[in-house]
């Protein structure tokens, strides 16, 4: 199944709301839809004034996204029209921004440039949404050049494609931050580890309050992890997380534990993978006996193309719950560490 057909299939398979939850959930969905579609309500800044709208592209108000970044105010909507933006990098300092591609997905290609020697976009503002954009080619002297380096509190990435950077998404520590990624693809974000001694991950979430990854396709990292998160709360649902033609380490590294739900994902591990564990939980936690740790892994499938492998490695003393996962008949240990397998 292609990435686009996979994402469309997942959109059609989302669950039906219960009768008791319908009204509040509907109101939340309606508000999000109005905001996402640029309706009159969604186009208002938080101050109540008319929302600033900046248009980028050929024959538009601004030729380049970086020019709009200098003029945007808090709450602005920046519409980036289709095209390739070669070597244009930007720093976004404003809060409550929506940075949205218009039409066929615009492509920001680094071409040797990097904002603050960090990546294509450095987002310093809080509560920023990035929608319908493609970013590639970030390289920096420290070998962790990212499509987006997020330094603020609160980021949503939707319907984007980040590929062939040293990191796809790299976030700074933000203990109160929430990072949401949905309907997106991250692939081949990696660096030459043997040469530089650094790891490149497709997605690397530093300390955060919450990380949500939904309905996305993450694949092709080499040596590094496909997904690494240090968030306290993690929801990993309805994704494809695969080595593909890469040979990464863990497919999913929930490195500091906390509370995590890993539901209805497809995992695939290459025969060349350097780590024979698919999902690691709390391998870097300073307190593996904390009562805050909780892990549920349910309804996933795992394809193991190599030798003996472990599906879940639980490093805490808290029992993990594995239920209804589809694993190979031979060669895979479902769980190492405390917990139950149903």
Least confident of 16-20, 121-125, 135-139: 16-20
Q: What is the DSSP letter of 4?
A: H
Please, what is the average pLDDT of the chain? 87
**Cα–Cα distances in Å, from 272 out to 249, 254, 300?**
9, 22, 22
Residues 268, 257: Cα–Cα separation, whole Å: 22
What is the rounded CA–CA span in Å between residue 164 and residue 197? Answer: 18
CATH architecture classification, 3-9+51-341: 3 Solenoid (2.160)
pLDDT in tens, 165-221: 999 999 999 999 999 999 999 999 986 545 544 467 899 999 999 999 999 999 999
The domain spans of the chain are 3-9+51-341
What is the widest separation between alpha-carbon atoms in the chain?
62
Residue whose C-alpha is closest to residue 158's, from 136, 174, 138, 180: 180
How confident is the model over 34-61, as pLDDT tens digits?
334 333 333 343 444 699 999 999 999 9
Q: For Cα atoms 270, 329, 320, give the angle at the middle one, nearest 5 degrees.
A: 80
Q: What is the rounded CA–CA span in Å between residue 101 and residue 36? A: 12
- Per-residue pLDDT tens over the stretch 254-271: 999 999 999 999 999 998
Please write the tens of the pLDDT for every residue from 275-321. Answer: 899 999 999 999 999 999 999 999 999 999 988 999 999 999 999 99
For residue 330, pLDDT over 60 is answered with yes
pLDDT of residue 340: 98
Q: How far apart are CA 271 and CA 301, in angstroms?
A: 17
Task: Report the predicted TM-score, pTM, of the whole model to 2 decimal places.
Answer: 0.85
| Res 191: pLDDT | 66
Q: Are 83 and 109 in contact (CB under 8 A)?
A: no
291: left (phi over 0), alpha (psi -120 to 50) or beta: alpha
Residue 10: what pLDDT? 44
**Predicted pLDDT at 16:** 32
Within a 10 A sphere around the Cβ of 215, how many other Cβ atoms?
A: 22
């Amino acid at each position: 199944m292609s990435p686009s057909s996979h994402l469309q299939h997942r959109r059609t398979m989302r669950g039906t709301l219960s009768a008791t939850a319908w009204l509040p959930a509907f109101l939340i969905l309606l508000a999000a839809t109005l905001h996402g579609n640029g309706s009159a309500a969604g186009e208002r800044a938080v101050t109540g004034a008319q929302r600033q709208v900046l248009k980028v592209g050929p024959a538009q108000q601004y030729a380049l996204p970086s020019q709009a970044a200098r003029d945007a105010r808090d709450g602005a909507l920046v519409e980036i029209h289709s095209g390739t933006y070669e070597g244009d990098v930007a720093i976004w300092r404003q809060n409550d921004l929506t940075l949205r591609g218009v039409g066929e997905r615009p492509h920001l290609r680094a071409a040797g440039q990097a904002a603050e020697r960090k990546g294509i976009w450095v987002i310093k503002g809080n509560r920023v949404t990035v929608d319908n954009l493609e970013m590639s080619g970030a390289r920096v002297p420290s070998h962790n050049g990212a499509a987006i380096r997020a330094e603020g509190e609160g980021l949503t990435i939707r319907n984007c494609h980040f590929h062939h950077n040293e990191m796809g998404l790299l976030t700074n520590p933000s203990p109160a931050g929430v990072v949401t990624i949905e309907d997106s693809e991250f692939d081949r974000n990696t660096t030459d580890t043997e040469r530089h001694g650094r790891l490149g991950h497709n997605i690397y979430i530093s300390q955060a309050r919450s990380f949500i990854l939904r309905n996305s396709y993450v694949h092709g990292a080499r040596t590094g992890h496909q997904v690494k998160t240090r968030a306290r709360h993690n929801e990993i649902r309805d994704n494809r997380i695969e080595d593909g033609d890469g040979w990464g380490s863990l497919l999913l590294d929930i490195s500091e534990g906390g509370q995590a739900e890993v539901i209805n994902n497809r995992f695939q591990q290459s025969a060349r993978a350097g780590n024979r564990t698919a999902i690691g939980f709390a391998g870097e936690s300073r307190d593996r006996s904390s009562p805050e740790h909780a892990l549920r892994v349910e309804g996933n499938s795992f394809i193991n193309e190599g030798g003996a492998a472990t599906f879940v490695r639980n490093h805490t003393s808290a029992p993990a719950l594995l239920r209804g996962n589809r694993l190979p008949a031979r060669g895979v240990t479902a769980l190492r560490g405390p917990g139950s397998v149903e």
